[in-house]
Structure 1
């Protein structure tokens, strides 16, 4: 194991064991290096790496702190990484989204508030029948974000948020290239909303699967 990797593991162990908790300030660099049996250089590299993935927060002139470790914060790195992937890999992200999104939609069925459903319906109504692709994709992102949050599972909603980056590009290209994409998307959104209003988790799951799979099928045929 590389020295920096060892340093990362030792800091992680302190957090997992509860020696360091969310919001805690790390001991001074010299003190922490001595406690962990590390050189100050390797400790510094480990802190830098952990700050990049939002485990640690380095505050200039103040010190280094453990972040809130909130799943959404930690999974932000995922959305950064997936933006670099090619179209063929985007198919794999869409396949993962096809597994997770219906599950989140089914979980949201008994939980999503009526005012959230009203707001999503109003947003769809405001689009009209012939929105631009940009307007439709912006609405689509918000539509799925609200439903995922309503699942009550912060890890699941954060994972889906991280997967939205590469799949957004696919949705835009589909909207531009496929003649009936806009109408089908609006129809599928309304079907999902109807199932959520009925508190029918299985119908919501089914329509979400159809919705995500249609983008995946188009991209697979377009490649």
Structure 2
């Protein structure tokens, strides 16, 4: 918990440093190349004293470093520290051996989510329902096929038969989340995605909207579960 708070404090300090338009403009200017404070001031139309103030704030937040010119030793160049910007992303989710998506009937949203995860992220994944239907909804199969994904029309399962220790359980519907929030429930979701039930509307458009919602959420979650390895210097 102490490490989590420390990380939050560091990220908050960086966010605060970036909260001024002029400082954000300086970071933007240094994203692709280095520059001296004088060059920054000239390009952004800022007086010398203001550039010095903003550079100090950014340097104190760890966003910038100063290097002495190898040519004119009187000159200083500012260099962005890109790793600090990368650290603004939420920390990875630890201990996720497998991802399990859960909805009520395991007939649409959880099935699409598992298929998307398998296709876009990879790694162990499953789906289940709190009250599983006898089959996957035909419109879910249809939208999956339209996007190059495969669903087993008969592949539904109960959450109690699927979830095991070490799983990252994600409830992709409100009913499943609320059912599993009961203290006596055998499974407790770690995350909740309030994705509207396309079966209630029962149109291709509703199922496509659910697919798009899930795809967007999975694209955001994937790097938190499977962070990219750091490149060696």
State TM-score, norm by structure 2.
0.28
Instruction: State which structure, 1 or 2, has the greater radius of gyration over its C-alpha atoms.
Output: 2
* Structure with the higher helix share, 1 or 2: 1
Greater RCO (Cα-Cα under 8 Å, separation 6 or more): 1
Higher strand content, 1 or 2: 2
